[in-house]
Structures are given as structure tokens and as C-alpha cells.
Structure 1
Amino acid sequence: MINFDEELKKFQPSLEVDQAEDAIYKNDLRDVMDIVEDMLQEMKKDKPAYVRRQEG
């Protein structure tokens, strides 16, 4: 029969999980909204001034 308490005491997370976790938390990842906002800013910069005035 398996002694779950003893097995839990011996448990050690794999190094791969720890390494992946560190990489994820250390990176400043952009989400989709960040990308869309950047695209909108670029589009506004590329429009002629008379179009920007009409929009805004």
C-alpha cells in the first residue's frame, strides 16, 4: 500500500518546471491589447492631419 504522506515528503518539483516558471515571470510579455494599441498609434501617425482632425 502507498503511504501518501511519505511520498509527499520525498516530492521534488522537476527542474524544467522551475526553469519555465522563472523564464515566464522574468519576461515582460505583451498581450494582444498592447499589440493592438501599438498598431492604432502607428495608424494614427501615418494619417494626414486633415483626417485626424475629422476623427477627433
Structure 2
Amino acid sequence: MARVASARGQAQRAEDALLEAMRLSRKVGNADMPWDETLLALKEGLPEAR
């Protein structure tokens, strides 16, 4: 049971991170930026994600 709960928690955090990246992408007016590039920009702290 603990592994299932842990996996669900990890999946929820991943989904939350993706949704946040998508929200930030729209916030900077760059809705066409692919989500993987948005996540990379967030990870690296690039201006595109601010």
C-alpha cells in the first residue's frame, strides 16, 4: 500500500509541475513554447520561464 501511495504522490507532483509549466508558458505570452522546453527553462532558470 505504501508503494501505491508513493507512486500516486509522485504522479501528482509530476502532473502539478507540468500544469505549472503550462501556466507559466501562457503567463509569459509564449503559449506556443513546447512543454518540454518550458520545463527545461524552469529547471535552468532561463528568462523564458519568468
Query: More helix per residue: 1 or 2?
Result: 2
Larger Rg: 1
- When normalised by structure 1's length, the TM-score is 0.34
